[in-house]
Structure 1
Amino acid sequence: MRKALALAATLGTLAMTRALMRDRHVPLPTALPGRRETLSAPQVGTVAYYASPEGSGRPILLIHSINAAASAYETRPLYLHYRENRPVYALDLPGFGFSDRSRRRYTPRLMADAIHAVAAEIRARHGGETIDAIALSLSCSYLAKACLARPADYATIGLISPTGFDGRLSGEGPPDGHRGREILRDVLDRPLIGPLLFSGLASKVSIRFFLEKTFGATKIDEGLLDYAYATAHQPGAEHAPYCFIAGHLFPTDSTLLYDRLKLPVWMVHGQRGDFVDYRLAPRFAERPNWRIDSLPTGALPQFERLRAVTDCYDGFLASIRPSSPRG
């Protein structure tokens, strides 16, 4: 009897695993217009990015957030807007979109290294010109880390709904560390347990639920929902989210990173939804190199009030004098 039960359990597990794997082959269209290109970098692997380099002026790099279904699509409104008048690029961070989704540890250092690689490629294409860069949410800390490591690459940085200004994820801990729990990561990495959990997170019901919390409203961007579902159903889509869930992608020093920035910094955040704790923002608001705006939106203001976002950002750029501090 025990052998029969064990065999039944094994067959059931195999059937569920096969069903989950079949669900990982949803067609994935390109997230943005322009050219989709790739580059390879040591310890990073293949990084995919979108390029619309035809405009004039300083190039801009857009960096999406981190979640179970993240991709460059999150930057789509900004990408479409700025490609009309300046060179614009947007990358898929490692573990997401068309970038390398291999089974490995995903950390803030890996993400910063990917930003380094793409920033260097953009500068090489534009005669060594420094770039403007805008990141979303958790990726703002990766951009700050990249900027501090290679300040000569950047003219300005923009932070949309950045983490690290709240009471829970502010980081004044060890430099270059993360909050990862290896035991949790190992549990998620086991057959069945992790795939079952990720399958639930990657369902349309779950993605809609989290987007509604992000937007702070039941009205969300349906195109973002559809693309999030597709990108979360690709082979290897679970590996980076496992590290996200286990804490490996959360830096221990995010607030200290922001504290050390000397170049011009623009920040904008929404006023509703689950991501409105910016209690540490006043610490930066009076600094001459910072400008902080808030809008009556959720945490993805570029999808709700694009004109307001671009007006704020363009005003910030226009206010910068050549003598602005760098670094």
Structure 2
Amino acid sequence: MTTDPDPIAIESRFATVNGVRLHYLTAGAGEPVLLLHGYAQTSHMWRPLIAELARTRLVIAPDLRGFGASDKPAGGYDKKSLAQDVHALIASLGLGKLAVAGHDIGLMVAYAYAAQYPAEVSRIALMDAFLPGVGDWTHVWLLRDLWHFHFYGTTPLALVEGRERIYFEHFWNDFAADPTHSVSEADRQLYAAAYAQPGGMAAGFEVFRAFERDASDFAGFAATRLTMPMLVLSGEKASGEFLIAQGRLVADDVEAVIIQGSGHWLMDEARDQVVPKLTAFLTR
């Protein structure tokens, strides 16, 4: 009789870098892999992938500044600065060159990380959203929902206080190919509670407020093309070909996969397709 191997133990830890206390999940040993979550989620989204990667790799999945169990200061939400936070975390752990993957806002942070520290990134995976400031970036699929990019300040915060779940249902439902096959009910409860913490919604809104600065930073980054392998995973019913085209504008070695039938929430809508592709790429 055979038994399954012991489940991978995922640890929750904290580190203070750049004056901010960051929470992160970690598991495994070996060459490091960095996973960066997006908006309306936290590092929790990566748990199914961490369990696979940690069989052969050391995995680090932080809550970005302002998210989850990390500190929520008033500023520092441009993606260049968020990447610097994460780089300081990696340095504090004594780690060097790594593979990095990011979804949604996390892909922007992943790109900013690779652009600022190209010698320290072995490969990069970008998952369904867009790169501000690269190509015709204002004509993304999300343009029809552009309102939330400008939804910040005193009045929006007052409107969503105590109604965080209602606000996030728009993202989880409308950005999915099928609202009934999107982020799970248990995870919706977890994420809504995480963002309802003091300063959580304000921090999330600041991520959008920073897009204009991000566009300026990324236009500068794009002048120097990335040379490490890049994987772009894009939802058929979400970013589609757009993110793939952007990836080819900023990198020389791009492998692209459109996840058929999926919307924006790739890890939740198409886990059986996405986890094997990411695992194969990040451990290649």
The verdict on a shared fold, with TM-score over 0.5 as the criterion, is yes
What's the CA shift for 1:236?
1.4
Partner of 2:38: 65
CA distance 1:79–1:194, change in 2 (3 Å)? same
What's the CA shift for 1:120?
1.8
Write out per-residue CA displacement over residues 286-326 of structure 1, whole angstroms, 9 at most, x where no aligned residue. Answer: 975111111121112222332322332344457x6xxxxxx
Partner of 1:299: 264
Q: 1:92 aligns with which of 55, 63, 70?
A: 63
Deviates most, 137-146 or 87-96? 137-146
Q: Distance in 2 between matches of 1:108 and 1:252?
A: 10
The one-letter code of the counterpart of 2:229 is: P
Q: 2:124 aligns with which of 138, 142, 157?
A: 157
Q: Distance in 2 between matches of 1:284 and 1:132?
A: 16
What's the CA shift for 1:33?
5.9
- SS where residue 215 of structure 1 aligns? coil
Q: Distance in 1 between matches of 2:227 and 2:51?
A: 29
CA distance 1:147–1:201, change in 2 (3 Å)? farther
Please tell me whether residue 236 in structure 1 is matched to residue 191 in structure 2.
no
Partner of 2:239: 276
- SS where residue 145 of structure 1 aligns? helix
Please tell me whether residue 80 in structure 1 is matched to residue 51 in structure 2.
yes
Q: Distance in 2 between matches of 1:146 and 1:39?
A: 19
Larger radius of gyration between Structure 1 and Structure 2: 1
Q: Distance in 2 between matches of 1:93 and 1:283?
A: 24
What's the CA shift for 1:113?
1.2
What's the CA shift for 1:225?
0.9
What's the CA shift for 1:282?
4.0
Contact map agreement 1:163 1:170 (CA 8 A) in 2: no
Q: Distance in 1 between matches of 2:178 and 2:259?
A: 15
Partner of 2:167: 206
Structure having the larger proportion of residues in helix:
2
Q: Distance in 2 between matches of 1:65 and 1:35?
A: 20
Contact map agreement 1:137 1:162 (CA 8 A) in 2: yes
Partner of 1:140: 107
CA distance 1:65–1:201, change in 2 (3 Å)? farther
Partner of 1:217: 178
Please tell me whether residue 51 in structure 1 is matched to residue 26 in structure 2.
yes
CA distance 1:65–1:255, change in 2 (3 Å)? farther
The one-letter code of the counterpart of 1:38 is: F
CA distance 1:284–1:234, change in 2 (3 Å)? closer
What's the CA shift for 1:200?
6.5
What's the CA shift for 1:78?
1.4
- SS where residue 251 of structure 1 aligns? helix
CA distance 1:41–1:278, change in 2 (3 Å)? same
Q: How many residues align?
A: 261
Where in structure 2 are there 5+ consecutive unaligned residues?
A: 1-7, 141-148
Q: Distance in 1 between matches of 2:162 and 2:213?
A: 22
The one-letter code of the counterpart of 2:178 is: A
CA distance 1:33–1:107, change in 2 (3 Å)? farther
What's the CA shift for 1:162?
3.4
Write out per-residue CA displacement over residues 202-234 of structure 1, whole angstroms, 9 at most, x where no aligned residue. Answer: 1x2332232012222122222321111110111
Contact map agreement 1:139 1:162 (CA 8 A) in 2: no
Contact map agreement 2:32 2:98 (CA 8 A) in 1: yes
Q: How does 1:311-326 map to 2 (within 5 A)?
A: 311-316=276-281
What's the CA shift for 1:102?
2.3
Please tell me whether residue 37 in structure 1 is matched to residue 2 in structure 2.
no
CA distance 1:284–1:60, change in 2 (3 Å)? closer
- SS where residue 268 of structure 2 aligns? helix
TM-score normalised by structure 2 residue count: 0.78
Partner of 1:103: 74
- SS where residue 38 of structure 1 aligns? strand
- SS where residue 56 of structure 2 aligns? coil
CA distance 1:75–1:256, change in 2 (3 Å)? farther
The one-letter code of the counterpart of 2:176 is: F
Q: Distance in 2 between matches of 1:106 and 1:50?
A: 21
CA distance 1:315–1:117, change in 2 (3 Å)? same
Percent sequence identity over matched residues?
Answer: 19
Q: Distance in 2 between matches of 1:120 and 1:236?
A: 27
TM-score normalised by structure 1 residue count: 0.69
Please tell me whether residue 267 in structure 1 is matched to residue 226 in structure 2.
no
Q: Distance in 1 between matches of 2:130 and 2:265?
A: 13
What's the CA shift for 1:146?
1.6
